Amino acid sequence: MEAEANSGSPEDSWAFIQRPGEGCRTVPLAGHVGFDSLPDQLVNQSVSQGFCFNILCVGETGLGKSTLMDTLFNTKFEGEPATHTQPGVQLQSNTYDLQESNVGLKLTIVSTVGFGDQINKEDSYRPIVEFIDAQFEAYLQEELKIRRLLHNYHDSRIHACLYFIAPTGHSLKSLDLVTMKKLDSKVNVIPIIAKSDAISKSELTKFKIKITSELVSNGVQIYQFPTDDEAVAEINGTMNAHLPFAVIGSTEELKIGNKMVKARQYPWGTVQVENEAHCDFVKLREMLIRVNMEDLREQTHSRHYELYRRCKLEEMGFKDTDPDSKPFSLQETYEAKRNEFLGELQKKEEEMRQMFVQRVKEKEAELKEAEKELHEKFDRLKKLHQDEKKKLEDKKKSLDDEVNAFKQRKTAAELLQSQGSQAGGSQTLKRDKEKKN
């Protein structure tokens, strides 16, 4: 581009640029600049990179969540029907690569298996909230890395939550209100009435009004289609009045007239899925996929994820301003947090050292007490041993005396016996002599 002085009319060759604090200056343009191609560049870049979209389907087992997903994207996704015997709520995530024309979409569908099947439903929402927070945490950890790879990172944050409401025709269940209240600050909640062909048209109208009234009275913030863009303001404003959408899903195709349509065949007639007189399936598909998919992605990042990120960083001690409302740099925050951490570490180290010294002293006192008890026990045993030894010595002495006395008596007895034997022998000799004479 070349700038030259030109005395022609401003309408023909001059571009006027008004800058704050400056007068009006004129810059001539020699030809077409080309920055009006920026939207095309962005489109080409986005198409080459592809898009991702993550849907969370929350609802009781048997409300047709998988069938509706198949109908929305005109694809037969993998999956088996869930049973009603799950011990708890489990989240099952499946990712698919879809292609439409030259646009690629990485679609992730997350189902809540076993939701509402337990007798105690008090904490049924907890696994769902933990799963959503886990995806936020994974993205935050990727952002906090020194070498970030966000352009190649698979964003698993939930962009839209389709909450399936049972077609009771009366009112919302307590489980529905509690769960949507817990989720409205973390994800874009879009309530839909599943299997809406189960109730009549008049009942359906009253049911929609009742649901809207209960959501407002309980402070549940559901996703509202944006109306700030003039291009979609009218259609989104109209669709907001139709919430919650009453939908029907079906993968069966029946021939109606001269064309094949998705429908459900009943003994009394046929319900066409894409017939707006029969259900709101077309409205849901238009609002969710064709018109507001990018807004759902943007709302997830700028509202729900930013709220989680802010709360998480505040818990970690990071803040934007100091007590004097002055800007607080990240380095200062890091240094302050690091010094605080080191101070707490030294404090804990000192507490552990004091505790260790105290325990050592207590252990030494216990050992001294045990040593004292051992000495006392040793003295008692020693004294007992001496007493036993003295008793044994006295008993030995008495036994020795008895042995000596016994030996003396034995000697005396032997002496008397020998004397008696000699006396008896002399008398026998005397009698023998007398007989011979």
Q: What are the boundaries of each domain within the chain? A: 45-316, 339-398
β-bridge partners, 161: 56, 189
Question: What does pTM read for this prediction?
Answer: 0.70
Rounded CA gap, 167 and 200, in Å?
Answer: 10
CB within 8 Å of 148: residues ≥ 6 apart: 142
| Interval 215-228: pLDDT, tens | 999 999 999 999 98
pLDDT of residue 27: 67
pLDDT by residue, tens only, the chain of 437 residues: 344 444 444 444 444 444 545 566 776 767 777 777 888 888 888 888 889 999 999 999 889 899 999 999 988 887 777 776 778 889 999 999 999 888 899 999 999 998 988 888 888 999 999 999 999 999 999 988 888 888 888 899 999 999 999 998 888 999 999 999 999 999 999 999 999 999 999 999 999 999 999 999 999 999 999 998 888 889 999 999 989 999 999 888 888 888 888 899 888 889 999 989 999 999 999 999 999 999 999 999 999 999 999 998 888 777 766 666 666 666 777 777 788 889 999 999 999 999 999 999 999 999 999 999 999 999 999 999 999 999 999 999 999 999 999 999 888 888 888 888 887 777 777 777 777 76
List residues bridging with 90 in a β-sheet. Answer: 113
Cβ neighbourhood burial of 251 (10 Å; 0-12, 13-18, 19+): middle
Read off the pLDDT of residues 79-112 as tens digits, 9 standing for 90 and up.
Answer: 777 776 778 889 999 999 999 888 899 999 999 9
What is the dihedral angle through the alpha carbons of 43, 45, 47, 53, rounded to the nearest 10 degrees?
A: -100
pLDDT at 247: 94
**Euclidean distance between CA atoms 154 and 166, whole angstroms:** 33
> Does domain 45-316 correspond to CATH entry 3.40.50.300?
yes
Strand partners of residue 192: 164, 245
